[in-house]
Amino acid sequence: MKLQGAGVICVFILFGSSGSQVSGSCVVSNTESQNVYWYRCYATNNYSMDIEAAPVDVSRVTLSKSRIPVLRDRSFSRLSSALEKLEISFSNIGKIEDNAFEGLSKLNTLEIKSCNLEMVKSAWVRGLTNLETVSFVDNKIRSVEPNFFSILPPLKVFDIALNELTCLSPKMLGNFKTEKFFFQLNPLTWECMYGLVKWVRENDVQESDFEKGNFDPSAEVLLVCEEKLLQHHEQLNGENMKKCMETTLNGLLPDKKYYTMEYFCGFLKKHPSPFVSCHRE
């Protein structure tokens, strides 16, 4: 099946219907752009069958709430002539084979969200030179292959928030370029967070978790500790950073169970905070 011209209506194929060519519920629909179509499948048990039923020149594919334990090599190669956006979510993916996205030279958005990935491999993005957005939000990722970021083209968005990473080192990130970079809700070490603050600011990242104010602890406290450690000629390592962070954060609130904002503003005069200032008469 090939999509031609405008006026294509939505086609809905119910799961389990007689003579069905798909294993889930799939629909072809319009998008906001003329002659750009979206193929969506829900609750599939055999994603390969569903992809075989898609129009070969569809621009966007979404698979959601499906059973896809392994994403196989060249899974989407028949759609390579036009596929620009691939989004898979809540689909139990635990493994992606090295060449799963092979041939998708027009792909600009790759999102694998809320699945069971434990690592990110460099081979997945090799040859995907038009990528602009990459997201692995809400998986179980503990590691990223060292040369992954060196293979990626410059991006608009990279999002690896809500995973199990303890670090994304500046050395690994290297000269990687992205306009937006999100990584909150990973159990990053203090030392790693400090390294990320510096990397973000030195590489012209326009928006990140630090700038959004969503990160805990904030960039402000990390930088306060940087200054304190340097003033005392202490090493900027994980142990010293952790000690400084804990001490600094514990000193941002009064040691009282009950206090008013008036009392708090008086407290700030001796214990200034990077988060708040009082403007009280």
What pLDDT shows up at residue 199?
A: 92
Find the mean pLDDT for residues 113-119.
97
Contacts of 19 (CB under 8 A, 6+ apart): none
Highest mean pLDDT among 88-97, 206-215, 236-245: 88-97
What pLDDT shows up at residue 3?
A: 54
* More confident: 127 or 14: 127
Q: Kindly indicate the confidence band of residue 281, based on its pLDDT and cuts at 50, 70 and 90.
A: low
CATH architecture of 11-215: Alpha-Beta Horseshoe (3.80)
Closest by alpha carbon to 74, among 58, 56, 89, 96?
96
- pLDDT tens digits for range 42-66: 998 899 999 999 999 999 999 999 9
Distance, in Å, from the CA atom of 183 to the CA atom of 26, rounded to the nearest integer, reads 32
What pLDDT shows up at residue 161?
A: 94
Global pTM exceeds 0.95: no
Structural tokens at position 1: 């099946």
Pair 185, 162: CB distance under 8 Å: yes
- pLDDT tens digits for range 176-187: 999 999 998 899
Distance, in Å, from the CA atom of 207 to the CA atom of 210, rounded to the nearest integer, reads 8
For residue 19, pLDDT over 80 is answered with: no
- pLDDT tens digits for range 221-262: 888 888 889 899 888 887 888 888 888 888 889 988 889 999
Average pLDDT score, the chain: 87
